[in-house]
């Protein structure tokens, strides 16, 4: 329980601010947004835990402190404002005014950029999923799939080849150079962060600073759905930031708990379930470039995979 004390404190403060803004209705909406964020990012916590356990204690703590500031103010407030400013070709301060005083207009502009957001996020998450699938693994969950993937993994740059092929299909259907740029920027961002991490790492231990940057970009890719989907619940940008920020804090606490308690090592298929969920999320993001898909479907599919992986891991432990 000690791992969640700070999260409950942040939640208490956030809900208090919500009450000041709009009484009990605002508190209720903020709580719903926090639950939405946790449900959509649970698989993110599992993957974060895998990376974080290789990092020094001080960087684990910085993930909880610095990472919170980046997650709440950076990815849930500043980043959407930057996207809207670029999409509408207007100034930052004008965008802030629109966000605060014309939330419906802000949402409409954000929606015009959602294809670019999904292309970038989908590209980045696809690389996370495919690199996991094609790597050599001691533990395998769905063996027919993972054994086949392992054989293909012996081909140099197989992840990048498949990602390029997917990009060609998406760009051909989307017929948009902006989508193309966003997609390949997602691929490039992942490749660049991975290369920098390998350059700065020693003995396969993730470098602290690069590890933190990687985790924040990963968090950003997961948060896109939540930020856009939040407008279905409320158009108040402050409540959105508070609700998603509270959820992000609980996801971080959950990550630290998993690291400290060795949950990933004990429940050996949990990491597999999380990566399968990431693969599905990437695929759904690609589909969202062309059609509407409710966020509830994304969260539910990911949760089902994690529950299945948890139950299977528990059964193996009993054996």
Q: How far apart are CA 109 and CA 319, in angstroms?
A: 54
pLDDT at 202: 43
pLDDT digits (tens, 9 = 90+) for 36-58: 777 667 767 777 777 777 777 77
Cβ-contact 46, 271 below 8 angstroms: yes
CA dihedral (312, 315, 317, 319) positive or negative = negative
Q: Is the pLDDT of residue 18 over 80?
A: yes
Q: What is the mean pLDDT of residues 276-305?
A: 79
pLDDT band at 165 (very low <50, low <70, confident <90, very high): very high
Picking from 16, 78, 11, 9, the residue whose alpha carbon sits closest to that of residue 38 is 11
Mean pLDDT highest for which of 162-176, 222-236, 278-292? 162-176
Which range marks the domain in which residue 43 is found?
A: 2-318
Q: Maximum distance among all alpha carbons in the chain? A: 61
- Number of domains the chain contains: 1
| pTM attached to this predicted model | 0.72
pLDDT band at 205 (very low <50, low <70, confident <90, very high): very low
């Amino acid at each position: 329980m000690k791992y969640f004390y700070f999260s409950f404190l942040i939640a208490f403060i956030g809900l208090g601010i919500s009450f000041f803004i709009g009484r009990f209705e605002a508190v209720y909406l903020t709580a719903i947004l926090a639950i939405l964020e946790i449900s959509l990012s649970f698989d993110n916590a599992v993957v974060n835990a895998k990376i974080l356990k290789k990092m020094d204690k001080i960087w684990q703590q910085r993930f909880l402190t610095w990472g919170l500031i980046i997650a709440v103010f950076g990815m849930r407030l500043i980043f959407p404002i930057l996207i809207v400013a670029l999409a509408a070709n207007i100034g930052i301060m004008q965008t802030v005014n629109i966000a605060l005083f014309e939330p419906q207009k802000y949402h409409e502009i954000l929606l015009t950029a959602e294809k670019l957001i999904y292309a970038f996020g989908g590209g980045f998450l696809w690389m996370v999923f495919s690199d996991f699938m094609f790597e050599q693994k001691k533990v395998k969950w769905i063996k027919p799939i993972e054994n086949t993937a392992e054989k293909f993994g012996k081909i140099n740059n197989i992840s990048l080849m498949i990602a390029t092929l997917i990009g060609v299909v998406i760009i051909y259907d989307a017929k948009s150079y902006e989508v193309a740029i966003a997609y390949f920027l997602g691929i490039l961002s992942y490749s660049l962060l991975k290369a920098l991490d390998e350059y700065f790492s020693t003995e396969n231990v993730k470098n602290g600073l690069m590890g933190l940057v990687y985790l924040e970009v990963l968090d950003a890719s997961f948060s896109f759905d939540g930020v856009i989907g939040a407008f279905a619940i409320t158009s108040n940008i402050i409540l959105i930031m508070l609700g998603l920020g509270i959820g992000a804090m609980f996801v971080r606490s959950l990550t630290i708990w998993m690291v400290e308690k060795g949950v990933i090592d004990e429940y050996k298929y949990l990491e597999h379930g999380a990566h399968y969920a990431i693969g599905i999320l990437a695929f759904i993001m690609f589909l969202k470039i062309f059609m509407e898909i409710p966020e509830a479907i994304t969260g539910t599919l990911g949760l089902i995979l994690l529950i299945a992986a948890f139950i299977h891991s528990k059964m193996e432990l009993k054996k």
